[in-house]
Amino acid sequence: MRLSFFKQPAGITIGEIVAMTGAELKGGAPLDRLIADIASLDRARPSDLTFLDSSILLDALGKSRAGACLMAETFEARAPAGMIVLRVRDPMRAFIAVARHLHPDSLRPSSLFDIAGVADAASVHPSAEIEDDVTIDPGAVIGPRAGIGAGSVIGANAVIGPDVKIGRNCTIGPTASIVHSLIGDGVIIHAGSQIGHDGFRYQPGPRGHTKVPQLGRVIVQDNVEIGVNTTIDRGGSGDTVVGEGTKIDNLVQIGHNCTIGRHCIIVSQCGISGSVTLGDYAVLGGQVGVADHVTIGEGAMVAAKSGVISDVPAGEKWLGYPAMRGREYLRPFAASRKRK
């Protein structure tokens, strides 16, 4: 059975794993032994590397057929005979490092048509500037004066608007559209996401609502990843900015003029209104709503489904609607549960 749609890895030796992860080898296992792939404890075969990071899984360890296992020293007595034990302080981190090494094609989506260069069925405007080593899949549309940096992949039926600049080594997923935007290097924007379209602002009046021009841009800094079907509106007059290294999940809405810091985590279906500021490393759980002009401080965390209507100080954990500091909000729930 073929488990993965990715390429069969080339394999890695135990010695290479030791060098990569700083693991200490228990006993005299051969450094040139080849590991074919990685897998979880229960799925691993004798040619696979696995890992253990919780005593809850000790039973699974005992039954595992894995050829090698990354684990803390304290568990190694429980490893089945014949399993190579690699002692390491953070087994999951080490395991992920090996996974990334074995599956480089999983680090960002590549052409869905297995091509290099520009597909015949793509529409690239003659004034667009396409650097070397760019892949453009069938059906993609690249507008006038757009720029695509070296090593980038534009997915099938994606649409890049006029004057948009995409940096180097980016992947734009199939059917995504990007307009009025400047995109940095190493950015992944997944399928169906809509970046840079009109913010939602009208002047109310007795005979209806008048559209307010949305003249700004979206700036996406380096190494940002944006999930599928997410929407980020361009600024009204200034810009909407997504800071370096920030990761955004699927179906998220980010309104005009937001400033999202660096290395933030924004989980699926969050709705961020206009002119919101997120400090670096802020984390929003799924389905969080944030009212306009709110500031969420550096490293602050907001629990899933919360509604934030006032500023959240740096480093605090908030939840509920209206969101408040953690402990305070949970009291009413605790009270009502005791009463039964």
Q: Is 256 a residue of the active site?
A: yes
When binding is defined by CB under 8 A, the residue of 149, 255, 261, 279 that contacts a copy of itself is 255
Secondary structure class of 277 (helix, strand, coil): strand
Residue 3 vs 77, nearer CB to a copy of itself = 3
Residue 25 binds to a copy of itself (criterion: CB under 8 A)? no
- x/- track of binding to a copy of itself for residues 55-84 (CB under 8 A): ------------------------------
Put the strands of the sheet holding 141-142 in their side by side order. Answer: 123-124, 141-142, 159-160, 177-178, 194-197, 231-233, 253-254, 271-272, 289-290, 307-308
**Interaction with a copy of itself in 132-151: which residues (CB under 8 A)?**
137-139, 141, 143-144
Tell me whether residue 13 or residue 268 sits nearer to a copy of itself (CB atom).
268
Contact assessment for residue 273 and residue 254, using Cβ atoms and an 8 Å cutoff: no
Contact 321, 304 (CB under 8 A): no
Distances (CA, A) of 259 to 124, 195, 278: 32, 15, 6
In this structure, is the dihedral angle defined by the CA atoms of residues 201, 205, 208 and 212, taken in order, positive or negative? negative
Q: Does 233 bind a copy of itself (CB under 8 A)?
A: yes
CB of 167 to a copy of itself, least distance (A): 17
Any contact of residue 174 with a copy of itself (CB under 8 A)? Answer: yes
Active-site choice (125, 256, 263, 293): 256
Q: Which residue in 183, 174, 177, 212 sits closest to 197, CA to CA?
A: 177
Q: Is 273 in the site for a copy of itself (CB under 8 A)?
A: yes
Q: From residue 52, how far is each of 44, 295, 337 by CA, in Å? A: 12, 39, 37
Kindly state the smallest distance separating residue 200's Cβ from a copy of itself, in Å.
Answer: 4
**What x/- string results for residues 278 through 317 when contact with a copy of itself is judged by CB under 8 A?**
--------xx-x-x------------xx-x----------
Which phi-psi region, left, alpha or beta, contains residue 251 (left: φ > 0; alpha: ψ -120 to 50)? left
Q: Is 148 exposed, middle or buried (0-12, 13-18, 19+ CB in 10 A)?
A: buried
Where in 188-207 is the site for a copy of itself (CB under 8 A)?
188, 190-192, 194, 197-198, 200, 202-203
Min CB(81)–a copy of itself separation in Å: 25
**Among 20, 25, 60, 265, interactor with a copy of itself by CB under 8 A:** 265
> Is the distance from CB of 97 to CB of 21 less than 8 angstroms?
yes
Work out how close the CB of 317 gets to a copy of itself at its nearest, in angstroms, rounded to a whole number. 15
Minimum CB distance to a copy of itself, residue 332 (Å)? 5
Exposure string of 206-229, with b = 16+ CB inside 10 Å and e = fewer, is: eeeeeeeebebbbbbbbbbbbbbb
Q: Which two tokens stand for residue 245?
A: 């290294």
At closest approach, how far in Å is the CB of 108 from a copy of itself?
8
- In the list 24, 62, 116, 209, the residue contacting a copy of itself (rule: CB under 8 A) is 209
Catalytic positions, please? 256
